[in-house]
Structure 1
Amino acid sequence: MNEKACKVLAARIRLETLKVIHSRGFGHVGGSMDLADLMAVLYGEVMKFDPKNPRWEDRDWLVLSKGHAGPVAYATFGIMGFYPMEDAYTLNHPHTKFPSHTDRQLTPGVDLTTGSLGQGASTATGAALGNKIDGRDNHVFCVIGDGEADEGEVWEAFHFAYAHKLDNIIYFIDNNGYQLDGPTDDILAHGDIAKKAASFGLYTQEIDGHDVKAIYDAIQNAYATKGVPSCIVLKTSKGKGATFAEPKHDHSSQPNEEQWAEALAAAEKALADAENA
């Protein structure tokens, strides 16, 4: 992999994610910003996709089961050329094609509609089964929040994927330690979430979710493991790179314009630093 190019892409995704949310002035900053490194690896190094043909049948699929992270997907798709980046600056405006939660009927690049937590894990698993039945050599990548994993439907999906030997799906658990109402340990503690996923039969790895090389290597390990689905637990910092959100682990944010200016300037500097590293 080109590690530097991946780091630059991650920094660019963070900057554009902030711009997308800033267009509305508020939104789901925390759980969007912490996925930039994963998105950079997936779209910069791993996935098969065609921006001119988003429904290409042999593409790899991305399913943000934590659908409120839509802004990081919109930023990534814009950078990758699915549409002009500026289009996504209509986030949540009237008649927009870029709603708060991802919608496959509205936004090019979105493979499955998500938002009701837990359901994306099920539909992603169904997509993986369908692709396997059809004999396609592609993968489904499903991103699940650690707070979302409170939902029993997530674990039912893991059970189903293991029972059907779906080695063409990789689940990512965004383990940032926080959800809407506070720390996950205070609301519904998971204990060792990686051990729990492994107990369902999934080939499970636990890594630094901001280390692009570790993410890439973990995906390659998953590719090499046949006969069982995979789960990669990403240890992340909620709001990563957003100066007003990361220190407080904000789920959603309503910063003032001074705070926005500071955050955008910091993200622009981070991009310049990555390019010059």
Structure 2
Amino acid sequence: MENPFKQSGDALHRRAQDIRKKICVMNATAKSGHTGGDMSEADILAALYFHVLRYEVEAGQRVRWHDEFILSKGHGVGGLYACFGELGWLPERELLTYLKDDGRLPGHPVRQKLPSWVTVNTGGLGHGFPIAAGLAMAKQRHAARSGGTGRVFVLTGDGELEEGSNWEAAMAAAHFELSNLVVIVDRNRLQLADFTHNIMDLDPLDEKFRAFGFEVHDVNGNQVDSIWKLLESLDYDNRKPKVVIAHTIKGRGVSFMENVPAWHHKFPTEDQLKQALQELDHA
């Protein structure tokens, strides 16, 4: 099984930009959302869903997954919904129901709302990584019956790594040699209301993961081709779990959002939305 798109270059870059435009429209319409983190993760999501993840779309847009993706930073679900919209799974009109009562698009991923596309409910930070480790172990143990070992990709926020459950999962992942597990850290260096180094300094993050037994890689998390090339170059049979520290810019793509702590949880006004869409169209 392969990725059904396998896009790269300018086509994949435009996918990421279109995801960002959808995020801005969704959040402006909802008058809520975690815009900054949604924007920083857009290239990572584009690389995964349009090049790396192996899956098949069946009748009724049901998806049969060989690989799995978990959004551990569940408050970044606006980016995930926008990606689903870019895939054609969610119509544009439904994206405008983001955060509406009784809709399918709540403020965190909920499997019961989108059972074919969301692997697990997330939002309580520090939960996605441990679940991904368990899922990776299950895939290894059932590989003979499933036609090869599926991979598990989990996207965490860097501020989220302050949760101790992540490091318990890291110990287990190394101990059980989960080489099919890839932890991607959205390293935008901002959380909630300030820079991560002011709240809880994570550096040296690469050395911490190495000490826990991980194979460590760095990438520009806002260069979409660099992301998929790295992910496809990894050795998924070397008995070591992987971490990819994806260096990103919070609010990436819109000048007045980039690296501004206030955009962690803020939505564009009408004038800001117009400017954001113009900038994204020309980048």
Q: What RMSD in Å do the two structures reach over aligned CA positions?
A: 1.7
Within the candidate set 121, 126, 138, 1:118 is matched to 126
Query: Which stretches in structure 2 are left out of the alignment for 5+ residues?
Result: 1-6
Measured after TM superposition, the shift of residue 59 of structure 1 is 2.5
Which is further off, 207-216 or 116-125? 207-216
Structure 1 Cα separation of the partners of residues 243 and 196 of structure 2: 19
32-41 or 131-140, which deviates more: 131-140
Deviations 1:153-175 (A, max 9, x none): 11111111111111111000111
Residue 53 of structure 2 aligns with which residue? 47
Provide the residue aligned with 2:4 in structure 1: none
Q: Deviations over 1:226-277 (max 9, x none)?
A: 211110001110010134421514211133221122112322333xxxxxxx
**1:255 corresponding residue in structure 2:** 268
Runs (4 or more) in structure 1 with deviation over 6 Å come to: none
The 3 A distance-change label for structure 1 pair 109 and 70 is same
Asked whether the equivalents of residues 210 and 236 of structure 1 are also in contact (C-alpha less than 8 Å), the reply is yes
Contact 2:73 2:155 in 1 (8 A): yes
Aligned mates of 2:267, 2:79 — CA distance in 1? 17
C-alpha distance 155-209 of structure 1, shift in aligned 2 (>3 A): same
Matched, 1:23 2:6: no
How far apart, in 2, do the equivalents of 1:12 and 1:83 lie? Answer: 14
Q: What CA deviation, in whole Å up to 9, does each residue of 1:136-158 have, x standing for no partner?
A: 42111100111000001111111
Alignment of 1:187 with 2:187, yes or no, is no
Provide TM-score, normalisation by structure 2: 0.89
* Alpha-carbon contact 1:51-1:82 (below 8 Å) kept: no
TM-score by length of 1: 0.91
Verify: 1:75 aligned to 2:87, yes or no: no
Contact 1:162–1:228 under 8 Å retained in 2 = yes
Corresponding residue of 2:102: 95
Cα pair 2:27 2:268 within 8 Å, conserved:
no
The residue number in structure 2 matching 1:214 is 226
**Which residues in structure 2 correspond to 1:1-277 (within 5 Å)?**
2-52=8-58, 54=62, 56=64, 58-107=65-114, 108-135=116-143, 136=146, 137-224=149-236, 226-249=238-261, 250-270=263-283
Deviations 1:31-88 (A, max 9, x none): 11011111111111111123445452x4311101000110111111122132323312
Secondary structure at the residue paired with 1:246?
coil
Unmatched 5+ stretches in structure 1: 271-277
Aligned residue pairs, count: 269
Identity, % of aligned pairs? Answer: 30
